[in-house]
Chain A
Amino acid sequence: MGPSGTGKTTLLRLIGGQLRPDHGQVLVEGQDVHRLSRRELYRLRRRMGMLFQSGALLTDLNVFDNVAFPIRENTRLPEPLVRNLVLMKLEAVGLRGAVSLMPSELSGGMARRVALARAIALDPMLMMYDEPFTGLDPITMGVIVSLIRRLNDALEMTSIVVSHDVAEAGSIADWVYLISEGRVMDAGPPQQLRREASDWSRQFLEGLPDGPVPFHYPAPDYLDDLMGGDTR
């Protein structure tokens, strides 16, 4: 968790090998992601799933083909088996009835659930969620929150959820890292974090408008500015 613009999404992209770090290394299952060859990186990515904020469904394919996409591209399973797998994944997110809809016919929440079904299509060991709670109505939000936790337990994966929704993320997380300006500010189980957080963390967790993170963007003296000669 962390405020907007602190590099949470960047962190996910580093883990997925889509961005290259200036220095330091990213280890996934002991492998340095950025030292892998392209072939090895793609093999590793088959065991990672990522849910994008926008869903990022392929707009020229319907729901079924979208969920089938990673299976068909990465395996040579016979079509009846692909069909079963797709229906199982869609059943898990409650959208088996929507198989033949096109992405343009889905609501935002449905699109995100389809994207979730697609992300778990290859049974990843690591799931990454990029702001999964943003822009959802309360009901859909509840659905997504419980889906993330239930899928994580049922498929025995590791899930990394990037979010700034304190309540939702806190309700399902085992461990929370608060990051700001590229640094980990606080870490721990959610309850403990609420009890013994630093001033900065408390401001973030409780949503206080002013505190260690000032309300005002750095500016010259207010009075000087109002009276001021520099009109820019």
Chain B
Amino acid sequence: MGPFQRLGHAALGVLERLGRGHLFLFRTLLAMGTLVRRPGLLVRELYSVGVLSLLIIAVSGLFVGMVLGYQGYITLVDFGAAEALGTVVALSLVRELGPVVTALLFAGRAGSALTAEIGLMKATEQLSSMEMMAVDPYKRVIAPRFLAGVISLPLLAAIFSAVGVAGGYFIGVGVLGVDAGAYWSQMQASVDFREDVMSGVIKSLVFGVVAAWIAVFEGYDATPTSEGVSRATTRTVVHTALAILALDFILTGLMFGDI
């Protein structure tokens, strides 16, 4: 094959996968109805996808908030505006770092686990055997995991931001001596619910759909060998990270571009 043929071949491959990914998402959405009748399936996945990610999210949020406390203070104190620390910490977290860092951590912690689990179920013929037992894997395996991811990520992002604000408070007020009242009141005065908090919520919802979609699709589409599953797991983390960062740019442009 010449270089042009190879390029064309690769491009066709990407397009074909993209198409398969969308058909997959469509079938997953169609299969969602089962979860209304059997919420137990969803609850189990919410636990393994969401609850088990809590610790890493909370600890990361704390550290990010504490770093923001230091960095914000160093910049602000030069302008005599150290009281605005609460605003800086809260806005950075709620608008940007909360959704983005949570989504990146989620891809590493929960997304990779989802891909590996589904990929191994495929490699060990568990998905095939379900089909032969007249059980639709989309309903029994894919849909609950996908929805659990979509629900978990915004909640985890909210927890990340809240813990981060507390971390910033701990450093700003506890260590660097910013006035506690100023920290909270400045934050309350300048963080707008509709503008700032909602934009973060929308971002994390979009990230949730994308991260969960990539994770379950990569698992379902994995080559059913140990090498295939390992490659799929890597792809989940890499593709999710890239997609999240690109989408963050687009969403930020859409939401704040006209200011």
The answer to the question of A59 belonging to the interface, with a C-beta cut-off of 8 Å to chain B, is yes
Q: Which of B115-145 contact A (CB under 8 A)?
A: 124-126, 128-136, 140
A34-76: which residues lie under 8 A (CB-CB) from chain B?
A: 42-43, 45-46, 48-50, 52-54, 56-59, 69-70, 73-74
Interface: A18 (CB within 8 A): yes
Q: Is A16 an interface residue (CB 8 A)?
A: yes
Bound Cα distance A115, B131 (Å): 14
Are A45 and B131 interface neighbours, CB within 8 A?
Answer: yes
Distance to closest chain B CB from A96 (angstroms): 21
Instruction: Give the contacting residue for A50; candidates B124, B132, B135; CB below 8 A.
Output: B132
Indicate if the CB atoms of A18 and B126 lie closer than 8 Å: no
CA distance A9 to B97 in the complex (A): 51
Decide: A70 and B126 in contact? CB cutoff 8 A.
no
List residues of chain B with CB within 8 A of the CB of A16. Answer: 131-132
Q: What separation, in Å, do the CA atoms of A88 and B116 have in the docked complex?
A: 35
Please name the residue on chain A nearest to B133 by beta carbon. Answer: A70
Complex: A53 Cα to B124 Cα, angstroms: 10
Specify which chain B residues have a CB less than 8 angstroms from the CB of A58 in the assembled complex.
Answer: 126, 129-130
State whether B133 touches A73 (Cβ < 8 A).
yes
The answer on a CB contact under 8 Å between B129 and A56 is: yes
Q: Which residues does chain A contribute within 8 Å of B130, judged by CB atoms? A: 58
**Contacts of B140 on A, CB cut-off 8 Å?**
73
Nearest CB of chain A from residue B45's CB, rounded to whole Å = 12
Q: Distance (Å) between the CB of A70 and the closest chain B CB?
A: 4
Q: Are A74 and B125 in contact (CB under 8 A)?
A: no
Give the docked Cα–Cα distance between A104 and B129 (Å). Answer: 17
Q: How far is the CA of A70 from the CA of B126 in the complex (A)?
A: 13
> By the criterion CB–CB under 8 Å, are A74 and B134 in contact?
yes
In the complex, A50→B128 CA distance in Å? 10
Q: Are B133 and A69 in contact (CB under 8 A)?
A: yes
Greatest chain A CB density within 10 A among B124, B129, B132, B136 is at B132
User: Is the pair B126, A42 in contact by a Cβ cutoff of 8 Å?
Assistant: no
Assess whether A54 is in contact with B125, with CB atoms less than 8 Å apart.
yes
Q: Which residues of B contact A45 (CB under 8 A)?
A: 131-134
**Interface pair B134/A46, CB less than 8 Å apart:** yes
> Which residue on A lies nearest to B132, using beta carbons?
A50
Contact B132 A18, beta carbon cutoff 8 Å = yes
The complex places the Cα of A46 from the Cα of B130 at a distance, in Å, of 11
Q: Is the CB of B135 within 8 A of A73?
A: yes
Contacts of B129 in A (CB 8 A): 50, 52, 56, 58, 115
Contacts from B to A (Cβ < 8 Å) = 124-126, 128-136, 140
18 A–B contacts, CB within 8 A, in A order: A13-B128, A16-B131, A18-B131, A18-B132, A42-B134, A45-B131, A46-B134, A52-B128, A54-B125, A56-B124, A56-B128, A56-B129, A57-B126, A70-B133, A73-B135, A74-B133, A74-B135, A118-B133
